[in-house]
Amino acid sequence: MGGPGDPPEGVPEGAPGGGEDEYRSVVFDESFVRAARLQESSARERMTDHAPAVRRRPALRRGLSRQALILVLLIALAFGTAVYMGVRHPYQAPATAQHTEPLRMTVIPLAPHDPVPGAADTAKLFAHSKAADFRVGADGITLPASRRTAHFSDSQVVTALTTAKDYLVESSLDPEVLTGGPVRSVRILLDPQQLDQFDQSFDHPAADGRHAATGWLVRFDPAKAQLAAPGIRVQGTMSAVETDSGTLEVTSDHTFVYALRPAGADGDEKASLFTVRRELQFRFDRDDLRMHQAEVVVSYLQAGPLSCSVDSANRLQPLLAGQTAKAGGPAAGTDPFATDSAASLCGTLAPGAQPNLS
């Protein structure tokens, strides 16, 4: 029934003055009602404690939220993984700074007893020499089977061997380097601490055991000789060992045989063979391995046929077909093909080291 003054059917919906209008602005949604958590007090509580008829219920205590629990588990998993990797891979420890030694080098010319044999056909020269069965070019620089060491992984050992091979290829087989051209391809493979010594060896070469350009690489005097054939014959060995927890050492021993003609000569002029034996010792710390660079610490080179009286610190000046060494060379013979041979600062090229064309 409507209030006084209202129509019998009540106040029309939406008309002003309705009894519910003053509560229209108050809205209790479902979340508000659930959050209220009201509980009616018992009759005894109202009599003894004068508590109100309705009291607010304390919020239920819940455990850790699902998100917090997942976060804790992830942190524990990450910490456990870090501990495991540190124990499983101890060779990944940070490297300590090490001082790089300067290259110690020895360049030994080998003088022939007799005139240098020659032939127009370079294939004939190789076929009648000790290099007949050598491989051609980089194929002759083979990598040994490699295994991880106590502090270096398989891949790190392979990186050291590969970098040493790259250095041998660039410094012994690159035609531009061999003929006196740019040497940047060799330089970029060196540890930065050796670059000053390398540059001084080319700016001011000297036979002092530290600054001979030919201690770093093989190169001929372009005014004297040129390559007669691109197929350089190579044979040798490589090995890698760990010297301490932060250093790998690679040793290489290779013999390179080049076919040469006089500078500016055509293919009809006789060619001759020139033999270089290089023994190198490389050292690698972890920075070198990461940067694909090497420390060359020892270089021992024997080369011939050369005249002992000619300075070989800057460029090698080979004796070519028909030429003989100047008088005054040593009497002892040295064979660069023999791995157990040794020589003084100048040696004599053994007769068997030259092609036998008779």
Q: What is the DSSP string of 257-278?
A: EEEEEETT--TTS-BEEEEEEE
Tell me the pLDDT tens digit for each residue of 348-358.
Answer: 888 788 898 87
- Count the alpha carbons within 13 Å of 217 in the hemisphere toward its beta carbon: 30
Tell me the pLDDT tens digit for each residue of 106-143.
Answer: 999 999 989 999 999 999 999 999 999 999 999 999 99
Q: Give the C-alpha distances (Å, rounded to integers) separating 10 from 14, 18, 335.
A: 12, 9, 128
Structural contact between residues 54 and 38, judged by C-beta atoms closer than 8 angstroms: yes
- Residue of 216, 252, 234 lying closest to 106 (CA atoms): 216
In this structure, are strands 347-349 and 104-112 parallel, antiparallel, or unpaired? parallel
Structural contact between residues 328 and 310, judged by C-beta atoms closer than 8 angstroms: no
Q: How far apart are CA 326 and CA 156, in angstroms?
A: 48
Helix/strand/coil percent split, the chain, to 5: 30, 25, 45
Residue 7 has pLDDT above 70, yes or no: no
Paired with 257 in beta bridges are: 233, 275
Tell me the pLDDT tens digit for each residue of 218-241.
Answer: 999 999 999 999 899 999 999 999
Confidence class for position 102, pLDDT limits 50, 70, 90: very high
Place of tokens 């250093």: 247
pLDDT of amino acid 331: 46
Tell me the pLDDT tens digit for each residue of 36-65.
Answer: 555 566 666 666 655 555 555 555 555 557
- The set of residues, in sequence order, having a beta carbon less than 8 Å from that of 143 and lying 6+ positions away, is 158, 161, 162, 165, 238
Overall average pLDDT of the 16-24 stretch: 53
